[in-house]
Amino acid sequence: MSMWPFVIACYLVAGVFALGMLGQLVASRRRWRMRRRLGAGHRLLWAALLGLCAALAALVGSAVLGYQRLTAEAAVAVIEAHAIAPQRWAVSVTTPAGARHEVELGGDQWQLDARVIKWKPGAILAGAPALYQLDRIGGRYADIAREREAPRSVFALSTPHALDLWQLTRRFPRWLAWVDADYGSSAYLPLVDAGRYEVSLAAAGGLVARPADPATAQALRLRGWHRP
C-alpha cells in the first residue's frame, strides 16, 4: 500500500504550520513598529515554534518517500525474463503501482533485494505500519567461481532522496529510538526463458519468490527447484 496519502498529509500539515508561522511573523513586525516589544517577542517565539513544527512535518513526509506500507503479505513485484544469449537475460520488474524497470542481467539466477523498516511496540500501537522499499535487482551465477570472476550486473529499483528513513536510522539511531529493526531481505530464483515470477513480502518482513505460471513452475522443477 502506498505511503503517498501519509506523505501528502505531512506536507499539508507542514503548510498549515508554515502559514501560522508567517502570520505570527507579520503580527510580530506590527507590534514591533507599535513599540510593543514584549508582544513582538512573544509572537516571534510562536513563529519559531510553528516553523519548527512545519520543518518536522516536512521532514517526516520526505523521509518515507518511496516506501510502501506492509500490513499483511503483499505482492511487491512481477519479474519476467527472456534469454538473449548464454547467461544473458532481458529482465523486467513491474510493481503493483505500475512502475516498470527493464534491465539486462548476467548469470543463471536473478536476485531481488528490499529494505524493510519495523517499529517498536509503542509505535505499532500508535498505528505505525511496517515499511518496505524495493532496493535493487541483480544477476547471480550458480557457480561460485564464476560469481567471483564475472562482471556484476546490479540495477537500482529505488530513487535516492536527500532525506531517507533508512539512512537516517543508521546515522542517528539515538534520535529514532522507536525504530525496532531496519534490515535487508532478498529472494532469488533461476532464470528461465519466458519465465514469469511473482515476489511478495511476508508480514514478518521476508521476501518470497514463486513462479507465476505453470510453464515457469515446470521449467524450475526441471532444474530441481520446487514451488514453496
DSSP 133-148: EEEEEEEE-SSHHHHH
For the chain, give me the number of helices (H) and strands (E)?
6, 10
The residue ranking higher by pLDDT, 211 or 19, is 211
The residue ranking higher by pLDDT, 67 or 222, is 222
Over range 15-34, report the average pLDDT.
82
Distance CA 187, CA 114 (A): 9
Percent of the chain with pLDDT over 70: 73
- Conformational region of residue 201, where left means phi above 0, alpha means psi within -120 to 50, and beta covers everything else: beta
Do residues 93 and 156 lie in contact, with contact meaning Cβ atoms separated by under 8 Å?
Answer: no
pTM: 0.66
* Closest by CA position to 41, among listed 29, 51, 50, 53: 29
Burial class, 168, CB count within 10 angstroms (exposed 0-12 / middle 13-18 / buried 19+): middle
Whether the predicted pLDDT of 204 surpasses 80: no
* Closest by CA position to 17, among listed 48, 62, 63: 48
Count the neighbouring beta carbons within 10 Å of the beta carbon of residue 62: 17
Q: Which three cell numbers stand for residue 107?
A: 548469470
Q: What digits encode the pLDDT tens for the residues 43-62?
A: 888 888 888 887 777 766 66
DSSP 51-62: HHHHHHHHHHHH
Pairs from 198-201 (Cβ < 8 Å, separation ≥ 24) = 198/75, 198/77, 198/78, 198/79, 199/75, 199/76, 199/77, 199/78, 199/79, 199/112, 200/73, 200/74, 200/75, 200/76, 201/70, 201/73, 201/74, 201/76, 201/114, 201/116, 201/132
Distance CA 39, CA 186 (A): 58
Q: What digits encode the pLDDT tens for the residues 158-179?
A: 877 666 666 676 676 676 666 7
The residue ranking higher by pLDDT, 48 or 139, is 139
Q: Quick one: pLDDT at residue 65?
A: 57
Least confident of 8-17, 29-38, 55-64: 55-64
Q: Which three cell numbers stand for residue 42?
A: 512573544
CA 17, 19, 20, 24 dihedral sign is positive
Do residues 6 and 42 lie in contact, with contact meaning Cβ atoms separated by under 8 Å?
Answer: no
Q: What digits encode the pLDDT tens for the residues 100-138?
A: 999 999 999 999 998 887 777 666 556 667 778 898 999
